[in-house]
Amino acid sequence: MKQLFERFTLALTIALLSANFAFAQPAANDSDVVLKAMQDELQRSISKLVIQGQEKPYFIEYEAMDIKTFTATAAFGGLLYSQRNHGRAMMVDVRVGGYEFDNEPMGYPISVAIENDYNALRHELWLATDAAYRGAVEQIARKRAFLKNRVDEEKIPDFSKEDATVLLLPSQTLSFDQKHWETTVRELSALFRQFPTIKDSRVTFQAQLVHRYLVNSEGTRIRRPMMMISLDASAAAQTADGMWVNLSAPFHVTSIDQLPSVAEITKSIQRMAEQVTKLQVAPVLNETYLGPVLFTGPASAEMFAQLLAPEFCSYRPPVGMQGEDRSELANRLNRRVLPFHISVYDDPTQEKFGDKALLGSYKVDDQGVSARKISLVEQGVLKNLLLSRRPRKNMLRSNGHGRSGLNGGATTEIGNLFIQSSDGKSYDQLKQELIKMCKALEMPYGIIIKGGGLSDPALTYKVYVDDGREELIRGVSIGELTVKQLKAQIIAVGNDSYALNRAGGGGYGGGVSTSVIAPSALLEELELKKPTGAKQKPMLLTHPYFDKP
């Protein structure tokens, strides 16, 4: 009740300052009601929003996300569910003070009408702006009080001033053959009837269309439609000793026509199911391994995505929050962080790698700053970091990497991260180098990881020194590996490149979609641990489909 009273107290103040207030009607020739409502309420707030005796906002921003999703999931030949969802959320960012010192808002999305009702949308924006402004005034007062007796040697601006961007791309519609995809996932899920040892399996098709809107008091106006098409098959099996093993076969593209043919998808799912079947009977790692490890294919790209990519994303916490810049590399500019032959850059403007669409592509970031290619590491030396509109020491302007998921709140994230080497080797050369290192250490085998991430290296193989034979094993967990170790750990990299798309996911909680393009990498020494702890008991009965009399 108190919050409601405060919102309407401020609303009354605004009304008294603008007695002739009324919702302006959208122009007859403007069909985008969402954009029109945002622009009109922004203009009114800029010119008239004030609490008597308090400072006016110096910056106001409205962000809207209109999300339409269709999802169909099938298991073992039967459709589990098929549904469409439509949601719309808005975020209001009100800043008082100035670019050098402000209230550092941390906004959250609110649900608004999914109908294109101009007055309903203006109503929600009005209430949200009211609350955001009152909160901004209180926040900056608390911040000033907190800093009153503190000495801040580094005067870093709180927010960067950027040029206005206007990008109004045509709206799109979520159009596809729903019956066709319901039938397709049903038929694809029936493929698992060929694999008796697989206990659980799913095939999911999802089509998602997001229209992102952004308008702010600097003059930025953006409308961006973004399509995401995903088809994901997963399978899990339980071993005789109770361990669960699982794999997936994901496809993420930006339009229906970019998906592989059903025949190609079928082959990929069957190959994945065969790998799960092999994992189900594979031996466990029965001793702790300490030695060289070769990451290749998706495992290498995932390793770089988890270990290296976050450290390029500089973000200075708001005043009063514990901790420093979250990046481990933030204080290592112009220092060597990788081997001399490795260079890294991020390029959100590149839409494809070969024939593969890159999910981390965008024209402007989620703060309205134009995307651009940023050189991060040159011949092993860190030259730059990725930035949003939150400045850091000696880096005061955004370089177009302020990104937010569907839950709003922009931070710094990669787009398309490329890791390259001037001295790449073939897979066979890397494998032979691995064997050579193991021989020197008098080890009977080395390790190659071909699938999964650092937390779950699902496709791990022993490589025997005597004949180069590869044996699939399971139950492996990876010991500590940090970004600061990579400079010394990486012995060699491949002349290959694997493009890994990491989809942000659906719903308001969805994260940011990114892409990492990386070569294979041979690490000098890594600890791999054998499985420990209790395991779930096997199923009491066999699968009914395969339990033939």
Q: Which residue has the higher pLDDT, 543 or 320?
A: 543
pLDDT at 228: 93
Which H or E element spans position 85? strand 78-96
SS3 of residue 353 by DSSP: strand
Does residue 3 have a pLDDT over 60?
no
Asked if 450 and 459 count as a contact pair (C-beta separation under 8 A), the reply is yes
pTM over 0.85: yes
79 CB neighbour count, 10 Å cutoff = 14
pLDDT at 18: 37
Report the amino acid identity of residue 176.
F
Which H or E element spans position 299? helix 298-307
| Residue whose structure tokens are 């001033």 | 161
Does residue 506 have a pLDDT over 60?
no
Report the amino acid identity of residue 409.
G
Q: What is the average pLDDT across 236-257?
A: 93
Ranges 166-170, 362-366, 446-450, 527-531: which has the least confidence? 527-531
Cα of 296 vs its chain's centroid, Å: 22
Report the candidate in 176, 174, 241, 180 with the shortest Cα–Cα distance to residue 211.
174
Asked if 417 and 343 count as a contact pair (C-beta separation under 8 A), the reply is no
- Read off the pLDDT of residues 52-104 as tens digits, 9 standing for 90 and up: 889 999 999 999 999 999 999 999 999 999 999 999 999 999 999 999 999 99
| Residue whose structure tokens are 């794999």 | 247
Which H or E element spans position 67? strand 57-75
Q: pLDDT confidence of 6, banded at 50, 70, 90?
A: very low
CA distance 115 to 230: 26
Domains of the chain: 2-228 (3.30.2290)
pLDDT at 504: 76
SS3 of residue 295 by DSSP: strand
CA distance 108 to 131: 12
Q: What is the average pLDDT across 495-511?
A: 75
Does residue 137 have a pLDDT over 60?
yes
CA distance 527 to 481: 9
CA distance 42 to 25: 14
Does residue 509 have a pLDDT over 90?
no
- Read off the pLDDT of residues 183-200 as tens digits, 9 standing for 90 and up: 999 999 999 999 999 999
Q: How high is the mean pLDDT of the chain?
A: 90
Q: Nearest 5°: phi and psi at 127?
A: -65, -45
Q: Phi-psi category of 97—alpha, beta or left, where left has phi over 0 and alpha has psi -120 to 50? A: left
Does residue 256 have a pLDDT over 60?
yes
Question: Length of the chain in residues, anyone?
Answer: 549
- Read off the pLDDT of residues 394-404 as tens digits, 9 standing for 90 and up: 889 999 999 99
pLDDT at 179: 97
C-alpha dist (Å) from residue 312 to 257, 333, 391, 412, 453: 33, 11, 14, 9, 19
Q: What is the average pLDDT across 168-175?
A: 94
Three-state helix/strand/coil letters over 243-255: CEEEEEEEEEECC
List own/partner pairs for 267-273 with CB under 8 A and 24 or more apart. 268/233, 269/188, 269/191, 269/203, 269/233, 270/191, 270/194, 272/233, 272/235, 272/247, 272/248, 273/191, 273/192, 273/194, 273/195, 273/198, 273/201, 273/235
